[in-house]
């Protein structure tokens, strides 16, 4: 193929330019131009010179070549961080099916039109003697302002501009005049906005125990020997995984490499950040979703400019533009938040492994409850598996008991607390220790349902149950639709409407009623809405201003409270019946993590799991703290059902505002896939309504395509993409893909 034309994406900040443009490749660049390069091109009527990314090279012109403009020059060679990130974007596009521009926007730090904050200060240019002369001159001429300024400059090396125009009352004109006369100079520095303020000692380091050291040694030993290694550390909560990560990061830094540490936002607590800070000082940068666009850009810029060595943050931190990336750590590897919900719907684990391949880096995954996906691959030999079964500090794993709520009810206990949990709570309060009660729900009372007909009150736009809030209103958590609590059932008119399952606030009230003396804190989306609300509640609890912390899954991640000796799971079943193949896995993870909160210090811990389904294997395995037995049963279920990771699964999501269009389009799509799949062992399910069948008046359906080999599914996805592109009928239907 002759390299004649290049597809170029320009200025990705403009939604309107969400497409590539073709440019002629000049003779002199034909040899060297490669996808991934950053070039300068003329653009628009005025032929403004702007930056563009080469995303493809071809010998076929998309429009008459004489009308095409020509690339001016190459700005950055392939091989720069940008081009490696562009290569990652191209992989994402292929794997997860999105537009190239969506993929680029995901991986490249989008230049925002935010002004960087500049700090100006003034510095004297004169030698002592000259300055004295000038000062005498100003005094004689009664130039008071200049006199003040000069005196100040003679006293200090540098004085901030605000001080000059503020406290000293010197006008800008006077400053300019002196600058012109070369008496002083103005120094400008870019001030990076720092989202967190950290202080204290740094350089802190623990001595690893034998198990930790063995893991670190093996990984460090293979640093230069193995290509693209991926490691999975399966270590119980408190086994010291974070210390291992820090050892590896220190090793990377020692080699002049940088490290990315992915931590789900919810676990990215002050405590965690402080641990990294104490070891690495301000060589770390933090990303989180609360950063402003400017702050986010600054953090990325620091990475590019070598001002930091470690980027810590959730999913998007993976794209930190480090020049020499050596290590990607992914803590809490099993977390759902690593799955992107926006196109391209990438999984951060897969993307991290891909990025590490491109960069020549290594990936370390860590979890107390590895995802079935990762564990499956580790057992298959794709990853190196390490298992650590005991805690780093001399503390035993907690004792777990299961309370059968069916029996409680038979025995006439209608309370939210089983006998066992009530008794243990009483003991904890007596001993002045602390307890955490965990409820996998938000809001006041969950939903409102009718005892006569069984229907829940639902959002007319989103087809989800409305949540009952404590102000008596029903709210849709997707679109915000809100109504007063109705007197009668909208379906059958019965007045037997009642809130069914219970929410954190109601749980708080009920527990308070049983233990009037107890000081209770509640943590859920409502109490953490204000800035740092999360932090404030945790701090209060840590300083023992409360005896009991009640909350949603927010409270089970990553916090270390030495005085907590009891964890109660109020209703383990809540996460068990959500209707998809991962509910068992999710329940096991949540329960194990909740249990891991108990007895983290010297005091022994107790866990009570309340459930209506005590025979369920996820609940039983969590109670026994037996990951392997959970995994064996779960993988059996996945094999029987043909679910990932036993088989690959491609989901084709369709959405449209017209229900008829969507139904028709998805039916045709299914036929198309069926025709494609005729020869192979491909299983096709659907189209069916998504679990939330309608959001904001947009209807949603999904088709599931299953096959043992993922590459067959990628091939099917590519064909589907082409089919959709060529087919007018799909203009009103948005299609997205999930690859599992």
Chain residues in the site for ligand ADP (CB under 6 A): 206-209, 212, 235, 237-243, 392-393, 560
User: 332 or 647: whose CB is closer to ligand ADP?
Assistant: 332
Asked if residue 452 binds Zn ion (CB under 5 A), the reply is yes
- Cα separation, 127 vs 391, in Å, equals 64
User: 143 or 271: whose CB is closer to ligand ADP?
Assistant: 271
User: 241 or 606: whose CB is closer to ligand ADP?
Assistant: 241
User: 27 or 394: whose CB is closer to ligand ADP?
Assistant: 394
CB of 109 to ligand ADP, least distance (A): 29
Beta bridge partners of 701: 654, 689
Which partner from the list ligand ADP, Zn ion, none does 19 bind, CB cut-off 5 to 8 Å by kind? none
User: 260 or 405: whose CB is closer to ligand ADP?
Assistant: 260
Which partner from the list ligand ADP, Zn ion, none does 240 bind, CB cut-off 5 to 8 Å by kind? ligand ADP
353's enclosing H/E stretch is: helix 348-359
DSSP per-residue string spanning 649-708: EEEEEEEES-HHHHHHHHHHHHHHHHHHTTTTT-EEEEEEEEEEEEETTEEEEEEEEEES
CB of 481 to Zn ion, least distance (A): 4
Task: Report the Cα 420 to chain-centroid distance in Å.
Answer: 37
Question: Parallel, antiparallel, or unpaired for β 497-499 and 448-450?
Answer: antiparallel
DSSP per-residue string spanning 608-628: EEEES-TT-HHHHHHHHT-HH
CB of 266 to ligand ADP, least distance (A): 15
Which partner from the list ligand ADP, Zn ion, none does 206 bind, CB cut-off 5 to 8 Å by kind? ligand ADP
User: 563 or 661: whose CB is closer to ligand ADP?
Assistant: 563
Question: Parallel, antiparallel, or unpaired for β 648-656 and 698-707?
Answer: antiparallel
Task: With beta carbons less than 8 A apart as the criterion, state whether 294 and 114 touch.
Answer: yes
User: 147 or 211: whose CB is closer to ligand ADP?
Assistant: 211
Beta-carbon contacts of 631 under 8 Å, excluding residues fewer than 6 positions away, are 372, 375
- Cα separation, 672 vs 664, in Å, equals 12
Asked if residue 473 binds Zn ion (CB under 5 A), the reply is no
Asked if residue 99 binds Zn ion (CB under 5 A), the reply is no
For the purposes of burial, counting CB atoms within 10 Å of the CB of 205, is it exposed (0-12), middle (13-18) or buried (19 or more)? exposed
Residue 675: how many CB atoms within 10 A of its CB?
Answer: 9
User: 235 or 644: whose CB is closer to ligand ADP?
Assistant: 235
User: 495 or 718: whose CB is closer to Zn ion?
Assistant: 495
Beta-carbon contacts of 238 under 8 Å, excluding residues fewer than 6 positions away, are 391, 392, 393, 395, 596, 600
CB of 241 to Zn ion, least distance (A): 40
Site for Zn ion (CB under 5 A): how many residues?
14
Task: With beta carbons less than 8 A apart as the criterion, state whether 378 and 631 touch.
Answer: no
Taking CB under 5 A as the criterion, the residue among 63, 136, 342, 453 binding Zn ion is: 453
Which partner from the list Zn ion, ligand ADP, none does 393 bind, CB cut-off 5 to 8 Å by kind? ligand ADP
Which partner from the list ligand ADP, Zn ion, none does 269 bind, CB cut-off 5 to 8 Å by kind? none
Asked if residue 489 binds Zn ion (CB under 5 A), the reply is yes
CB of 494 to Zn ion, least distance (A): 5
Asked if residue 478 binds Zn ion (CB under 5 A), the reply is yes
Asked if residue 457 binds Zn ion (CB under 5 A), the reply is no
User: 245 or 643: whose CB is closer to ligand ADP?
Assistant: 245
CB of 533 to ligand ADP, least distance (A): 24
Which partner from the list ligand ADP, Zn ion, none does 478 bind, CB cut-off 5 to 8 Å by kind? Zn ion
> Per this entry, what is the length of the chain?
740
Asked if residue 500 binds Zn ion (CB under 5 A), the reply is no
Stretch that binds Zn ion, among 103-111, 442-450, 527-535, 677-685 (CB under 5 A): 442-450
Which partner from the list ligand ADP, Zn ion, none does 683 bind, CB cut-off 5 to 8 Å by kind? none
CB of 206 to ligand ADP, least distance (A): 5
- Cα separation, 704 vs 706, in Å, equals 6
Asked if residue 459 binds Zn ion (CB under 5 A), the reply is yes
- What CA dihedral angle connects 320, 321, 325 and 330, to 10 degrees? 10
- Cα separation, 109 vs 473, in Å, equals 41
Asked if residue 448 binds Zn ion (CB under 5 A), the reply is no
User: 237 or 592: whose CB is closer to ligand ADP?
Assistant: 237
Taking CB under 5 A as the criterion, the residue among 50, 76, 475, 479 binding Zn ion is: 479
User: 5 or 276: whose CB is closer to ligand ADP?
Assistant: 276
CB of 277 to ligand ADP, least distance (A): 14
Task: With beta carbons less than 8 A apart as the criterion, state whether 313 and 287 touch.
Answer: yes
22's enclosing H/E stretch is: strand 20-24
CB of 271 to ligand ADP, least distance (A): 9
- Cα separation, 137 vs 135, in Å, equals 5
Task: With beta carbons less than 8 A apart as the criterion, state whether 552 and 571 touch.
Answer: no
Beta-carbon contacts of 176 under 8 Å, excluding residues fewer than 6 positions away, are none
Beta-carbon contacts of 486 under 8 Å, excluding residues fewer than 6 positions away, are 448, 457, 474, 497
CB of 535 to ligand ADP, least distance (A): 19
- Cα separation, 321 vs 730, in Å, equals 37
If phi > 0 it is left, if psi is from -120 to 50 it is alpha, else beta; for residue 558 that is left
User: 250 or 452: whose CB is closer to Zn ion?
Assistant: 452
CB of 477 to Zn ion, least distance (A): 8
Which partner from the list Zn ion, ligand ADP, none does 395 bind, CB cut-off 5 to 8 Å by kind? none
CB of 438 to ligand ADP, least distance (A): 18
- Cα separation, 266 vs 600, in Å, equals 19
CB of 242 to ligand ADP, least distance (A): 3
CB of 495 to Zn ion, least distance (A): 9
User: 261 or 511: whose CB is closer to ligand ADP?
Assistant: 261
Taking CB under 5 A as the criterion, the residue among 491, 512, 633, 683 binding Zn ion is: 491
Asked if residue 108 binds Zn ion (CB under 5 A), the reply is no
DSSP structural state of residue 26: P
* Cis before 467? omega within 30: no
Which partner from the list Zn ion, ligand ADP, none does 238 bind, CB cut-off 5 to 8 Å by kind? ligand ADP
DSSP structural state of residue 584: H
State the residues that interact with Zn ion by CB under 5 A: 450, 452-453, 459, 461-462, 476, 478-479, 481, 489, 491-492, 494
């Amino acid at each position: 193929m002759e390299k004649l034309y290049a597809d170029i994406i320009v200025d990705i900040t403009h939604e309107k330019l969400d497409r590539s443009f073709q440019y002629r490749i000049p003779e002199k660049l034909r040899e060297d131009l490669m996808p991934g390069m950053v070039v300068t091109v003329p653009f628009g009527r005025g032929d403004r010179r702007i930056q563009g990314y080469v995303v493809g090279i071809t010998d076929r012109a998309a429009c008459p070549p004489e009308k095409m403009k020509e690339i001016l020059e190459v700005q950055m060679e392939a091989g720069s961080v940008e081009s490696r990130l562009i290569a990652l974007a191209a992989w994402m596009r292929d794997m997860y099916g999105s537009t190239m521009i969506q993929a680029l926007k995901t991986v490249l730090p989008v230049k925002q039109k935010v002004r960087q904050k500049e700090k100006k200060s003034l510095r004297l240019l004169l030698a002592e003697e000259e300055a004295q002369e000038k000062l005498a001159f100003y005094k004689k001429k009664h130039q008071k302002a200049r006199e003040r300024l000069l005196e100040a400059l003679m006293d200090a090396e540098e004085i901030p501009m605000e001080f000059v125009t503020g406290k000293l009352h010197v006008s800008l004109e006077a400053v300019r005049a002196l600058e012109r006369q070369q008496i002083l100079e103005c120094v400008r520095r870019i001030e990076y906005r720092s989202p967190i303020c950290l202080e204290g000692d740094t350089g802190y380091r623990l001595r690893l125990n034998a198990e930790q050291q063995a893991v670190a040694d093996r990984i460090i030993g293979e640093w230069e020997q193995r290509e693209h290694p991926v490691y999975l550390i399966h270590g119980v909560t408190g086994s010291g995984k974070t210390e291992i990560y820090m050892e590896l990061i220190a090793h990377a830094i020692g080699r002049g490499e940088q490290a990315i540490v992915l931590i789900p936002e919810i676990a990215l607590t002050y405590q965690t950040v402080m641990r990294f800070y104490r070891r690495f000082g301000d060589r770390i940068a933090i990303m989180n979703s609360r950063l402003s666009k400017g702050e986010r850009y600054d953090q990325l810029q620091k990475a590019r400019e070598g001002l930091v060595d470690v980027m810590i943050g959730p999913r998007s931190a993976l794209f930190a533009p480090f020049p020499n990336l050596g290590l990607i750590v992914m803590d809490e590897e099993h977390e759902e938040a690593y799955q992107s919900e926006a196109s391209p719907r990438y999984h951060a684990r897969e993307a991290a492994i891909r990025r590490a391949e491109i960069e020549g880096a290594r990936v370390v995954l860590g979890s107390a409850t590895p995802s079935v996906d990762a564990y499956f691959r580790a057992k298959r030999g794709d990853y190196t598996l390490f298992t650590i079964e005991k805690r780093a500090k001399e503390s035993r794993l907690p004792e777990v008991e299961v309370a059968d709520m069916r029996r409680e009810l038979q025995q006439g206990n209608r309370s939210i607390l089983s006998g066992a949990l009530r008794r243990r709570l009483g003991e904890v309060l007596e001993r002045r220790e602390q307890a955490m009660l965990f409820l996998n729900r938000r809001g006041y009372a969950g939903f409102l349902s009718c005892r006569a007909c069984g229907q829940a009150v639902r959002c007319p736009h989103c087809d989800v149950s409305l949540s009952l809030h404590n102000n008596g209103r029903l709210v849709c958590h997707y679109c915000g639709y809100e109504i007063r609590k109705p007197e009668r059932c909208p379906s059958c008119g019965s007045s037997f409407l009642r809130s069914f399952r219970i929410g954190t606030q109601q749980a708080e009230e009920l527990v308070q009623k049983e233990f009037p003396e107890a000081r209770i804190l509640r943590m859920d989306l409502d109490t953490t809405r204000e800035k740092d609300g999360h932090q404030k509640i945790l701090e209060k609890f840590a300083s023992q201003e409360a005896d009991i912390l009640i909350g949603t899954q927010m409270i089970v991640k990553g916090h270390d409270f030495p005085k907590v000796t009891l964890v109660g799971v109020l209703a383990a079943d809540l996460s068990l019946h959500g209707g998809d193949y991962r509910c068992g896995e999710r329940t096991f993870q949540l329960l194990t993590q909740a249990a891991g909160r108990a007895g983290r210090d010297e005091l022994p811990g107790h866990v009570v799991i309340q459930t209506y389904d005590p025979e369920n294997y996820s609940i039983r395995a969590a109670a026994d703290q037996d990951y392997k037995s959970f995994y064996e049963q779960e993988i059996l279920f996945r094999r029987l059902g043909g679910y990932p990771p036993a088989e690959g699964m491609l989901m084709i999501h369709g959405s449209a505002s017209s229900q008829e269009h969507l139904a028709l389009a998805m039916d045709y799509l299914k036929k198309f896939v069926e025709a494609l799949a005729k020869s192979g062992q491909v299983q096709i399910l659907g189209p069916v309504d998504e679990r939330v069948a309608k959001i904001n008046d947009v209807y949603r359906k999904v088709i599931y395509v299953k096959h043992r080999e993922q590459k067959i599914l990628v091939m099917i996805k590519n064909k589907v993409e082409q089919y959709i592109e060529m087919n007018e009928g799909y203009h009103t239907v948005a299609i997205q893909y999930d690859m599992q």
